[in-house]
Amino acid sequence: MLSVKLELLAALAAELEKLSPGAGARAAFENPKVAAHGDFACTAAMQLAKPLKANPRALGEQLKTALEATPAFQKWVDAIEIAGPGFLNIRLKPAAKQEVVREVLSQGVKFGFQPDRGENILVEFVSANPTGPLHVGHGRQAAIGDAISNLYSTQGWKVHREFYYNDAGVQIDTLTKSTQLRAKGFKPGDECWPTDAENPLAKNFYNGDYIADIAQAFLNKETVKADDREFTANGDVEDYENIRNFAVAYLRNEQDKDLQAFNLKFDEYYLESSLYKNGYVEDTVKRLIDSGYTYEQDGALWLKSTEFGDDKDRVMRKTDGTYTYFLPDVAYHIQKFKRGYGKVVNIQGTDHHGTIARVRAGLQAANVGIPKGYPDYVLHTMVRVVRNGEEVKISKRAGSYVTLRDLIEWTSKDAVRFFLLSRKPDTEYTFDVDLAVAQNNDNPVYYVQYAHARIQSVLRAWQEQGGAGVPALKDVDLSALEGPQAQALMLLLAKYPEMLTAAAVGNAPHDVTFYLRDLASAYHSYYDAERILVDDEKVRLARLALVAATAQVLHNGLAVLGVSAPERM
């Protein structure tokens, strides 16, 4: 049906151009707010009425008459109706809606994809410091980042997935101190291990059991390997640097296991330490000073970020000579731009909201040609986990939070991904473990996957009866698909490409979950209304083609989310 819509848009553009030169470029169809009003709506008459000094309804009548005379509208449109002050409500012929079935079956997994646009995009997400297991907040970020990456891939972008982490800061020292004490035989509760939350020293210790695991592995002189590093412990509890390198490698290995359980791989792990090692931080400081947007005050170096819309100026270099996190962030994003990524999307928690204005201000002050508004940000809230009706806050593995692997082990990778994508990123979300494992229609991922499996069952039954298989359905006669449920299902299939485009533009993978639930519902309604494996071969093949196309779109949409499409359940 995409080809049908393009034909109709071309005809509309030509007629609008006749009415007002230049208007053809704005030709567009809208979806009627009420389905009963038609399949497409056109508001062009009302938009052109004022500049043409014409009555909008009369202009609508004129446009209606002109469109009805075009070959495209005669071929695909059943009726055009005038409504209100000049709306055009367009009703398609069944044959127009049936075209989508052929498009889906012909394009397969590429249905909804746009041509290669020759542009690169970098999506940075998770970016957890290697100081502990990934928690459920990281899981939400992983699901959002991976789905957004997949969405951009469908739109012709070449996507680079990047994981950035601080491998040299205060938190790494905290990890090292905690591991060293564990290796020496101490544990939380001992005098040397503060646990009072009001005691500042308590912040310098990690209490989870995973620290004991790292310490034991260090004493065993084990070798650990992660995606970006490999290190062997020497077992010397006094060798602080060896403990540090081993602990970081150990936890990077643990995080890799979390990501593997989530079926997620990154193209690159970018280290904060490399920004210092390669001189990028010092170069950024020099650029900012040379730009004239810095000043010294109270022994610190400040950026005049208020001149770029920030609510206050920001410290770049503290009185002790060390840099704030803001400075390497700016250096990092300058490098993203220099590496050829004209578009960048950062997925971060809502607690990073304050970094947006300051990073963008720093990038503008650096004067390296980066456009305003760079990079894009998608902020997400944390996740509450409920099990057996009670909130779960503690994990034995982590000590103070539920880990991503906990959630996957309790439910499944598919459930975690779908659930964490089923709301807008910036809305609060409660993950109900019991619902995630329930096999009923209240469980959204089960509901969608069951629709796919149900279709595959029908297709298997047909093939067992001697059917030729899905490829043979691409060219069957579809004229029997005229019932209201079939028409509704085909219209929904036709909306899939536009939904993908809008979801990518809006960084809104939750739109895909909403669409899939609607599509599953439309299929279940169709299945209940019309038996598929009927005796009449023409009707049977047409209906099989429709459900096969529906299964393909369900599969494609689930793939965008990183969720499987099972053939049996």
pLDDT classification of 287: cutoffs 50, 70, 90: very high
| 3-state secondary structure (DSSP) of residue 478 | coil
pLDDT at residue 20 greater than cutoff 90: yes
Mean pLDDT of 510-538: 97
Say if residues 107 and 496 touch (Cβ distance below 8 Å): no
User: Which pTM value belongs to this model?
Assistant: 0.90
Residue 379: the pLDDT is: 97
**How far is 325 from 393, CA to CA, in rounded Å?**
29
Say if residues 409 and 144 touch (Cβ distance below 8 Å): no
Looking at every residue in the chain, the average pLDDT score rounds to 93
Region label for 455, one of left (φ > 0), alpha (ψ between -120 and 50) or beta (otherwise)? alpha
pLDDT classification of 461: cutoffs 50, 70, 90: very high
**How far is 15 from 70, CA to CA, in rounded Å?**
9
pLDDT at residue 354 greater than cutoff 80: yes
DSSP string, 302-323: EE-GGGGT-SS-EEEE-TTSPB
pLDDT at residue 548 greater than cutoff 80: yes
| 3-state secondary structure (DSSP) of residue 215 | helix
pLDDT at residue 201 greater than cutoff 60: no
Q: 161: closest CA among 506, 562, 552, 557?
A: 562
Peptide bond into 375 cis (omega under 30): yes
Q: pLDDT tens-digit profile of 405-460?
A: 999 999 999 999 999 999 999 999 999 999 999 999 999 999 999 999 999 999 99
pLDDT at residue 35 greater than cutoff 80: no
**How far is 508 from 502, CA to CA, in rounded Å?**
8
Mean pLDDT of 67-91: 94
pLDDT at residue 391 greater than cutoff 60: yes
Between the alpha carbon of residue 563 and those of residues 421, 501, 545, 554, 557, the distances in Å are 11, 19, 24, 10, 9
Residue 2: the pLDDT is: 77
Mean pLDDT of 400-404: 83
If 0-12 CB within 10 Å is exposed, 13-18 middle and 19+ buried, where does residue 401 land?
buried
pLDDT at residue 197 greater than cutoff 90: no
Residue 170: the pLDDT is: 77
Q: pLDDT tens-digit profile of 519-530?
A: 999 999 999 999
**How far is 342 from 19, CA to CA, in rounded Å?**
39
- How many Cα atoms occupy the beta-carbon half-sphere of 450 within 13 Å? 14
pLDDT at residue 357 greater than cutoff 70: yes
pLDDT at residue 204 greater than cutoff 90: no
Mean pLDDT of 477-492: 95
pLDDT classification of 3: cutoffs 50, 70, 90: confident
DSSP string, 326-366: HHHHHHHHHHHHHTT-SEEEEEEEGGGHHHHHHHHHHHHHH
Q: pLDDT tens-digit profile of 148-190?
A: 999 999 999 999 999 998 887 778 888 999 999 999 999 888 8
pLDDT classification of 132: cutoffs 50, 70, 90: confident
**How far is 432 from 390, CA to CA, in rounded Å?**
9
Longest Cα–Cα distance of the chain, Å, equals 89
**How far is 325 from 302, CA to CA, in rounded Å?**
13
pLDDT classification of 29: cutoffs 50, 70, 90: very high
Domains within the chain, CATH numbers bracketed: 2-92 (3.30.1360.70), 129-271+381-437 (3.40.50.620), 278-380 (3.40.50.620), 441-561 (1.10.730.10)
What percent of the chain clears pLDDT 70, i.e. is strictly above it?
A: 97
Q: Which long-range contacts (CB under 8 A, 24 or more apart) does 355-360 make?
A: 355/326, 355/329, 357/305, 357/308, 357/309, 357/310, 357/311, 358/303, 358/305, 358/310, 358/314, 358/326, 359/326, 359/329, 359/330, 359/333, 360/308, 360/309
Say if residues 425 and 140 touch (Cβ distance below 8 Å): yes
Say if residues 190 and 539 touch (Cβ distance below 8 Å): no
Residue 200: the pLDDT is: 52
pLDDT classification of 205: cutoffs 50, 70, 90: confident
Question: At residue 554, what are phi and psi to the nearest 5 degrees?
Answer: -60, -45
